Chains A and B, each alone.
Chain A
Amino acid sequence: MHETSGRLDDRSRPTIVTVTGLAKTYGSVVALDNIAFAVRRGEILGLIGPNGAGKTTLFECLAGVQAADKGAVAFGDGHETACRGDVLFYLPDGIAPWPHQSVAWGLRFFLDFFGGRQDLYEEVVGRLDIKPLVSQRIGDLSQGQRKRAMLAMALLTPQPVLLIDEPFEGLDLRQSRETAKTLRWDASLGRTLFVSIHQISDAGRICDRFVLLSGGHVCGEGTAAELASLAGNRPGFAAPADFEEIFLALT
C-alpha cells in the first residue's frame, strides 16, 4: 500500500458538504444516479473513477455550474448551513480562461475578484514553480504549465473547500509529486480538498479517503483500508493487494 502518514481518517470530523440523491441525465444517458456521500472538514477526498464515470458532471453539479436533475447538496456541519459560494470553489479541468492575459494578471484577478489569500501568494507561486510563467499569456502556456497556473489561482481562493478536477492531468512525474505535496500543504492549512483523479496511483499518493464512481453510481466510499475490506467481500477478490485491485474489484 502507499504511504499513509499524516492522513486523516477521523470519522468524528464534521461533514462540510453532504450530497444526497444527486442525479443527472443527458437525454437518455444517465450520468449520475442517486449519488450520496459526505465530505469531511480538513480531509483530502479523492473522487476516483474511469473516464466517463461522471466525475466532472458530479463536480459541476456540486459547484453549481451545471444543473442537477434531482438531489440535494448541503453545505455546513448540520448545525450551520452556508451558501455554496462561501464554502467551495471549483477548478474545472481543461479550461484556458482569459487566454490573452498574463498569468500574473490571472493571479491578481483571483486575489481581487474572489477575495483571495494575498498572504499565500509568494508561497503558492514558489511551490508550483510559477515564477518563470508569470509574464506569459495564459493561452500561450503548455497544458502542464497551464494546469500549474490554474492550480495556483485556485489555491489562492478563500473558500474552505476546493474542488479540483484532475489536478495531475498534463503534469510529468516530478511535477505531479510537487503538486501533490503542494495540495497536502494547502490541506495542512485547514482547507478541505476534493479532487477527481482517474490515475489510481496518483489518487493513492495524496487522498485520505475516496469516493469510487463508476457508470454514474457510487461504488464505494471510505479510506483505503475500508475499501479493501469492502472489496474483500466480493467473490473472486479476496484481500486485494493494492489500491488498483481494490478499484477494479469495486468498479
Chain B
Amino acid sequence: MPSLRRPWTRLVGKEWRELLASRAWWVMIFLVGPLVGVSFISAVRRYAEASGLGGTSAGVGQAFSPLDGIWVPTFVAYEIAATFLLPFVAIRLVASDRRSGALKLEVQHPMSPLSRVAAKALVLFAGWGLAGIPAVAAGILWKGYGGSTYGPELASVVAGCLLNAGLTIALAAAVASIVENPSTAAILVLSFTVGTWVLGFIASVRGGLSERIAGFTPEAMSDVFQHGLIPLGTALAVLILIAIGLGVAALWTRLGVSARRRAFESAGVVAAGCALVAACTLFHSSWDVSEDRRHSFPEADQKALAGIKGPLSIEVHLAPEDPRRSDLERQALSKLRRVMPSVRVRYVSATSIGIFEQANTGYGEVWYDLGGRRTMSRMTTEEAVLETIYGLAGVTPPQETEPSFAGHPLVARPRGAAVIFYGLWPALVAGLALLVSRRKR
C-alpha cells in the first residue's frame, strides 16, 4: 500500500493551483484592499476627530480604544468579504471538480473523502489568509502613525474573523457538494446568511430561545470576538459547526453511495453536531482580552463576588427591546455571569417593546434573590447592581483601587493609506493575476 501522505500533498497542490486559476478568488483579493482601505481611512479620521482634531474638545477621546475606533470598523471589511465574496470562492473550488468530471477521477483514489475536503478547506483558509494582507498593512500604518495596539484584543478580532470565514467555507462546501449547480449553491448560501439576519432580528424582538440560538450565527459570534471577549462555549460551538459543514461536504463527495444513504448520514452528522453544540452552552468560561476589561468588573469586585455563597437569581421585568434591558445585560449581567456562572437570570415581559407595559406596576423591576433573601431595584447600572448584590449578601463593597482605562487618543491623518489600498494593492493583485495566468499557459 503506497503512502497516502504524498498523494494528499499533491492534492493540496492541485487545489492551490485551482484556487489560483479561480477568478472569484482574484476578485475577492482585489476588492478586499479597497474595502479595508475605506474602513481604515474613515476610522482613522473619525478617531483623530474624536481625539481633538479640528477643534473637538480635548479629552473627548480619553476613553477611546483602538479596538472600537480602528480595528472593529476595519475588520467590517472582512465581514462583508466573508458574506458576499468568500462563498463564491468556496463554491467554485468545490463545485468545479464535479462539473468538470475531475471528481469522478479523484474519488477513485482510496483517500478518505474527509481528507479530500480537508485539502480544499486548507487551501481556502490559506487563500483567506492572503486576503488578510491589507489588514496587516493597516496595522503597520497605524503603528507608523504612532497608534497603540493591544495584542490580545487584536488577536481576538482576528480569531473571530477566521472563525467566521471557517463557517462560511464549511457552509459553502456542504451546499456545493449537495447541489449540482453552483448558482443554486450560491443562492442557498446567501439565503442562509439572510436567514441568520432574520433570526438575529427575531431574537432582538422576542428574546428567549431564539436569542440563544442567534448567539451562534456568524454575525453574533464575530460581534463577541470583535469586542475582545473569547467565550469558550461559542468558540467550541463554531468549531463544531465548521466540522459539521466539512463532514457533510465529505459525505456528499462519495459518488458511489446512494443519495438516500448520504442524506440519512448527513442528517445523523447534523443531529450529532447540534447535540454537541447544545452541550457547548454548558461551558461558561470566557476570557476578557480587551485592554479596558470591558467584560469584567473591577478586580476587587470580582474577588468579592466570587466569595459570595448561595444561589443568586435575578428576575428582570423588562421587554426585549427596552434599552434598559440591553444596558443591564451589557453593563452588569454579562459580567456577572462570567464571575458567578451559577447565577440564574429570568426575563419577564408580556410584549417585545414594552411601551404598553410601562403602566403596569411591576414593569421595570429587577428582583434579586440570594439564598431566599429578596430585594428589588429599578437601577440598571453596573454600580447599582453590585451595590444591590452586596447589600443582599451583607458584604462591604470593596474599595476601588484600579485606575480607570485612560484610552489612547491619537490625532493622526491616514497618510499613505489611500495610495496603498486604492493604488498599490489593486495594481499588485492585477499584476500577479496576469502573471499567474500567463505562466500556466
Give residues in A with beta carbon < 8 Å to B: 60, 63-67, 69, 83, 85-86, 89-92, 94-102, 105, 109, 112-115, 135, 137
Kindly state the separation between the CA atoms of A92 and B108 in the bound complex, as whole angstroms: 12
> Could you tell me which residues of chain B, from 218 to 236, have a CB within 8 Å of some CB in chain A?
none
Kindly state the separation between the CA atoms of A64 and B97 in the bound complex, as whole angstroms: 17
Work out how many contacts link A and B, with CB atoms closer than 8 A. 84
Could you say which of B2, B101, B109, B259 contacts A97, with CB atoms under 8 Å apart? B101
Kindly state the separation between the CA atoms of A112 and B17 in the bound complex, as whole angstroms: 15
Could you tell me if B101 and A96 are in contact, using CB atoms closer than 8 angstroms?
yes
Chain B residues near A115: list those with CB within 8 A. Answer: 2, 7
Kindly state the separation between the CA atoms of A83 and B18 in the bound complex, as whole angstroms: 30
The 14 sampled A-B contact pairs (Cβ below 8 Å) are A60-B104, A64-B107, A64-B108, A66-B255, A67-B256, A67-B259, A69-B258, A85-B109, A97-B97, A100-B18, A112-B6, A113-B106, A113-B109, A114-B108
Q: A64-B256, A85-B110, A113-B11 are in contact. Are A95 and B105 (CB under 8 A)?
A: yes
Q: A66-B255, A115-B7 are in contact. Are A98 and B108 (CB under 8 A)?
A: no
Main secondary structure of the interface of A (DSSP, over half): loop
Could you tell me if B107 and A101 are in contact, using CB atoms closer than 8 angstroms?
no
- Min CB distance, B308 to chain A, in Å? 62
Given contacts A65-B104, A90-B104, A92-B105, 10 further A-B contacts (CB under 8 A): A64-B107, A64-B256, A67-B257, A69-B258, A85-B110, A95-B101, A95-B104, A98-B14, A98-B102, A101-B18
Closest to A97 in B: B102
Kindly state the separation between the CA atoms of A92 and B105 in the bound complex, as whole angstroms: 8
Give residues in B with beta carbon < 8 Å to A: 2, 6-7, 10-11, 14, 17-18, 21, 97, 100-102, 104-110, 255-259, 261, 440-441
Could you say which of A90, A97, A112 contacts B7, with CB atoms under 8 Å apart? A112
Chain A residues near B441: list those with CB within 8 A. Answer: 102, 135, 137
Q: Which of B11, B14, B257 has the most CB of A within 10 A?
A: B14
Could you tell me if A101 and B105 are in contact, using CB atoms closer than 8 angstroms?
no
- Min CB distance, B52 to chain A, in Å? 54
Could you say which of A94, A97, A113 contacts B10, with CB atoms under 8 Å apart? A113
Kindly state the separation between the CA atoms of A211 and B6 in the bound complex, as whole angstroms: 38
Chain B residues near A92: list those with CB within 8 A. Answer: 101, 104-105
Could you tell me if A113 and B7 are in contact, using CB atoms closer than 8 angstroms?
yes
- Min CB distance, B187 to chain A, in Å? 24
Could you tell me if A105 and B258 are in contact, using CB atoms closer than 8 angstroms?
no
Closest to B437 in A: A100
Chain A residues near B11: list those with CB within 8 A. Answer: 113
Kindly state the separation between the CA atoms of A168 and B2 in the bound complex, as whole angstroms: 32
Chain A residues near B97: list those with CB within 8 A. Answer: 97
Chain A residues near B14: list those with CB within 8 A. Answer: 98, 101, 109, 113
Chain B residues near A105: list those with CB within 8 A. Answer: 17
Kindly state the separation between the CA atoms of A135 and B438 in the bound complex, as whole angstroms: 12
Could you tell me if A109 and B107 are in contact, using CB atoms closer than 8 angstroms?
no
Could you say which of A65, A114, A135 contacts B255, with CB atoms under 8 Å apart? A65
Chain B residues near A137: list those with CB within 8 A. Answer: 440-441
Could you tell me if B104 and A98 are in contact, using CB atoms closer than 8 angstroms?
no
